Amino acid sequence: MKTYVILFVLLLITHTMILVNITMFDGQWNGMVLFFSSILFLIGAVRFGSEYRGRKKINT
């Protein structure tokens, strides 16, 4: 899978979690949503960093 697809999917999951938390649960799960959003952000950042470093090594 391409990196931008993975990052877009992680962003879509994050926004969906926030939307469901606000509309269905009236914000009762804010702590859990924040935790999972942070984990998804870290996964995306690590994935992007590893791809960036890999491409940098190939090009030099």
Q: What is the pLDDT of residues 3-51, one digit of tens each?
A: 889 999 999 999 999 999 999 999 999 999 999 999 999 999 999 999 9
Domain chopping of the chain, boundaries: 3-54
**Tally of CB atoms within 10 A around 21:** 19
3-state secondary structure of 44: helix
- pTM of the predicted protein model: 0.84
Provide the residue type at 44 as one letter.
Answer: G
Tokens at 33, concatenated: 């949503």
pLDDT at residue 57 greater than cutoff 90: no
Q: CA–CA separation, 17 vs 10, rounded Å? A: 11
HSE at residue 55, side-chain half, CA atoms within 13 A, is 8
Q: CA–CA separation, 21 vs 15, rounded Å? A: 10
